Amino acid sequence: MGEEPSLNTHKRRNCYIEDETEPKKKRVKSEDQNINGSTLHKHKKSPRLSPALFRDNCIIQHQQIHELLKYACLGKSCSSAQPSWCRIHHQKRLGSVVIIVLHDLAQLHFYQFYLHFPYLRKLFKHRFSMPVPSSDFIATLIGAEEKVTSGIKEQEFSSLHPLSSLPGPADTAFSSGETGETFKHDPVILKYGNKRLGLTRYLLSQEEMRKNNYPLVGSPDSIDYVNSGCSREITDDSPLFGLDCEMCLTDKGSELTRISLVDANGSCIMDELVKPDNIIRDYMTRFSGITRKLLLPVKMKLKDVQHKLKSLLPPNAVLVGHSLDNDLRALQMIHPHVIDTALLFAREYGRKFRLKFLAQVVLGREIQTEDRMGHCPAEDARATLNLAQYFIHHGPEKVAQLQLHSILRSMNNPNGSLAAQEKTLQVKQNGSLLPLTTPIEQQSEEPHSLMESLYSDGKKILYMARINGVKESVSSKLLENIWCSSEEEVLKNACSLAQPASISIVKFSPGDRYSQGTEELHERSRSMFSNMMTVFAGPFEETFCLESVRRVFRTCGPIKSLKVLSQNYQPYFCVEYSVLEAAQLAVETLDGGHINGCCIKVQRLVTEQTFNCEVLLKAMEEDAENKDVIYVSGFKKSLTEEILQQRFSHFSDLKAVFLPASPLNGKAAKYCFLKFHHFQSAAEAIDRITGEGELRCRKAITACHLHQWLQTVEPCGPQERQVLPKEDGLSDIMESLDSNIMQVYENLPANTLCLVLFSGTNSSSRSLPGFGLMGIKAACG
């Protein structure tokens, strides 16, 4: 991807893709290259990352990291594709991938001990939040999901077998005398048993929804999502509704362009085109059927769709879809009761059948035909609904008898008989043999996981960790395990990887000391950031005007609370902001100023924490992630992307604008962040905006992921503003980890993609989201 265009009043990206490139150099002519290739190598373009993290929601799901790892290792082979959230340029020149996992550490730890991670902050400028981890964090990253067999969880990759051992195409027709014993190892039977049950058995559990990236209440990546309001208890008689959406690609990722909803009878009760809020970069016409001309007259927006959908769904509605998590995220809605046909028709290794294939084989129906431009969402929604109804009506054993995997394998087998693909196949449906009158075309499978793809290519994943008496569950013939007796041995082995594997995973877990007392650490962090976002101002006269005071302090940023401290001889105010930059602006610009005729002092509460606070703020301000970003506040009216484009169009070096939304009501804030191509331009913009006097401005302190996280920090009462006990040796542990990572990084070969992942914690006491940093080691180190 080339350099981003500068901002102008007509066309501009509202979020950007970070670029680690140097200015383009002239191509070196071949005659100037040395025979030994050294000069050629010198001028080859190096691999680089372009992540889209300058946006309101930069929580990266574990599945998205898996997609990044897969593309980094395999490129465009094995159904790999560039992940939408991060482009890898010149992927073929990547040497290897190294993942450093910090077990049970969370985003909370990174910012609570921010000053103790100097190497991490220096080495990695691309950072993102992650959700709370599942119990199999590492397995999720490499595509080795857990499965449940007779109530006992097993790692799927511990029982992988060659595809040749599976039933062949000769088993596609069955006699009526076959019993469930024949199919007892079928994934559908293993998951659901062989008894026919009601629809409630096939609803996704909360854990399944979380594991499959569904938006959930309370999830950090779903803060602004609208709840469907369908909270009534579900029974086997609850109504089913089929849902399917089509999306386009904008600067902020996938956005909704069409939605279809069908009722239990298959009647389409909603079919709407939707105009995205952001500039469309790719209409995805091949899949969506959406064109610029089609959307031009459309007035329907996302909020209108949300309102209409809520009005159509009864309180006990069950939504049915194929990979419905994508549709709900496009709708930015949360719905608690879903049946996902991509998961319902279970398959080995956690893979999924395509909807087109299921409709063709199970329903005898052709959808998504090539003679039509794009998919018809109403047709797809009806197909998913009918698939769920078929499964519920006939039960798991009947579905297992279809032997879907055998049919798919016979159709995709390049060395198999053409007759197996061209002849009329017979599958048992609705209790009788139903001939499919049209040939079944070759079906492409859902993309294999990274683990499967590497395995089929004869490669393994190197996994290095400290053994705690018993080997961990992450053990398999697909992994090359290096078990170490201590953290020192892990470090030594990690530093000696002269030629890392395709993927090397290094896990540091120096004990459970830092994983204990999570609640206390959370309270300490809450207190620290709450104090940093709070200022005290005064003294004021007894006849002060509260609204005047509020109006002045609001020019610095959004106020979370404003309280009068009236027990003093003269009134003082406690002002708590929801943005760190706002509190810092108030101290810098309002201290010594006059309000209501009073010369006031503005300062933070002076405690032992105050001294660390100043150092921390300075370090965050100078961080590589913030060096070319500024904070602007003082807008009198609500903002939109268009207003900001017009307001700052005179800054030719402006790269992107980040306009936050309120976590409470989703409304756009009255402040923004501006990112420039160069830090000098950012400094000049601060001087110019400040000089104009209308707005307040300063260097940014918080990155986008931190900004969103801080919106959830609860304010501390005056009685809570105290110095909490010091961290009992935790600082030393963090500094040691930082040093270990630096040593591993220094010993990596050039052009190695390195990810450092704070896994997060998921315990009964408190669950904490994870945190990630990434970068590609340059040839110069």
Contact 79, 448 (CB under 8 A): yes
Res. 418: pLDDT tops 80 = no
- Cβ-proximal residues to 150 (8 Å cutoff; 6+ apart), any chain: 190
Average pLDDT over residues 92-115: 92
pLDDT attached to residue 78? 63
pLDDT attached to residue 716? 55
In order of start, what are the domains of the chain with their CATH numbers? Answer: 66-143+449-513+749-781 (no CATH), 518-720 (3.30.70.330)
- Per-residue pLDDT band at 583 (split at 50, 70, 90): very high
Q: What is the spatial distance between Cα 30 and Cα 215, in angstroms, rounded to a whole number?
A: 53
Name the percent of the chain lying above pLDDT 70. 76
pLDDT attached to residue 708? 79
- Per-residue pLDDT band at 182 (split at 50, 70, 90): low
Res. 445: pLDDT tops 60 = no
Max Cα-Cα span within the chain: 95
Beta bridge partners of 260: 244, 271
Angle, CA 644 vertex, CA 638 and CA 646 arms, to 5°: 125
pLDDT attached to residue 373? 64
pLDDT attached to residue 155? 36
Choose the most confident range, by mean pLDDT, from 10-24, 244-258, 453-467.
Answer: 244-258
Exposed, middle or buried, 494 (CB in 10 Å: 0-12/13-18/19+)? buried
Determine the length of the chain.
781
Beta bridge partners of 100: 506, 756
Angle, CA 265 vertex, CA 187 and CA 359 arms, to 5°: 40
pLDDT attached to residue 235? 95
Q: Is the pLDDT higher at 474 or at 406?
A: 406
Contact 463, 506 (CB under 8 A): no
Res. 608: pLDDT tops 90 = no
Task: Please state which of the ranges 111-120, 294-303, 423-432, 480-489 shows the lowest mean pLDDT.
Answer: 423-432
Question: 678: alpha, beta or left, given left = phi > 0 and alpha = psi -120 to 50?
Answer: beta
- Cβ-proximal residues to 164 (8 Å cutoff; 6+ apart), any chain: none
Res. 37: pLDDT tops 60 = no
Q: What are the E-state strand segments in 176-294?
A: 226-227, 240-250, 253-262, 268-273, 280-282
- The helix/strand/coil state of 203 is coil
Burial 613-640 (b: 16+ CB within 10 A, else e): beebbeebbebebbbbbbbbbbbeeebe
pLDDT attached to residue 369? 73
Count of beta carbons in the 10 Å neighbourhood of residue 538:
20
Res. 9: pLDDT tops 70 = no
pLDDT attached to residue 10? 37
Nearest to 495 by CA among 739, 773, 734: 739
pLDDT attached to residue 331? 95
Contact 20, 776 (CB under 8 A): yes
Contact 62, 718 (CB under 8 A): no
Q: What is the spatial distance between Cα 701 and Cα 3, in angstroms, rounded to a whole number?
A: 25
Res. 475: pLDDT tops 80 = no
| DSSP β-ladder status, 318-321 and 338-340 | parallel
Q: What is the spatial distance between Cα 556 and Cα 579, in angstroms, rounded to a whole number?
A: 9
Give the CA count within 13 Å in the CB-facing half-sphere of 471.
10
Average pLDDT over residues 453-476: 70
Res. 722: pLDDT tops 50 = no
Average pLDDT over residues 689-705: 92
Q: What is the mean pLDDT of the chain?
A: 79
Choose the most confident range, by mean pLDDT, from 63-67, 613-617, 755-759.
Answer: 755-759
Q: What is the spatial distance between Cα 679 and Cα 653, in angstroms, rounded to a whole number?
A: 10
| Strand order across the 671-676 sheet | 654-658, 671-676, 629-633, 696-699
Res. 11: pLDDT tops 70 = no
Res. 314: pLDDT tops 70 = yes
pLDDT attached to residue 179? 45
Res. 513: pLDDT tops 70 = no
Res. 20: pLDDT tops 50 = no
Average pLDDT over residues 285-303: 88
Res. 317: pLDDT tops 50 = yes
Instruction: Tell me the residue type at 716.
Output: C
Contact 339, 202 (CB under 8 A): yes
First to last CA, the chain: 24
Res. 417: pLDDT tops 60 = no
Average pLDDT over residues 211-236: 88
pLDDT attached to residue 140? 83
- Per-residue pLDDT band at 723 (split at 50, 70, 90): very low
Beta bridge partners of 319: 241, 338
Q: Is the pLDDT higher at 267 or at 431?
A: 267
pLDDT attached to residue 382? 95
Question: Which is it for the CA torsion 669, 670, 673, 676, positive or negative?
Answer: positive
Give the CA count within 13 Å in the CB-facing half-sphere of 20.
24
- Per-residue pLDDT band at 429 (split at 50, 70, 90): very low
Nearest to 408 by CA among 378, 383, 442: 442
Q: Which helix (H) or strand (E) holds 766?
A: none
C-alpha radius of gyration, the chain, whole number: 29
Average pLDDT over residues 114-131: 94
Q: Is the pLDDT higher at 142 or at 157?
A: 142
pLDDT attached to residue 744? 95
pLDDT attached to residue 239? 96
Q: What is the spatial distance between Cα 776 and Cα 124, in angstroms, rounded to a whole number?
A: 9
Place of tokens 């962090």: 525
Count of beta carbons in the 10 Å neighbourhood of residue 171:
15
Residue 194: what are its φ and ψ, rounded to 5°?
-110, 5
Q: Helices (DSSP H) in 373-429: which residue ranges?
A: 377-394, 396-401, 404-412, 418-422
- Cβ-proximal residues to 678 (8 Å cutoff; 6+ apart), any chain: 628, 653
pLDDT attached to residue 27? 42
Q: What is the spatial distance between Cα 260 and Cα 384, in angstroms, rounded to a whole number?
A: 12
pLDDT attached to residue 590? 93
Our measurement of the distance from residue 166's CA atom to the centroid of its chain's CA atoms, rounded to an integer in Å, reads: 35
Res. 53: pLDDT tops 90 = no
- Per-residue pLDDT band at 56 (split at 50, 70, 90): low
Omega prior to 314 cis, within 30 of 0: no
pLDDT attached to residue 656? 86
Q: What is the spatial distance between Cα 587 and Cα 574, in angstroms, rounded to a whole number?
A: 13
pLDDT attached to residue 623? 92
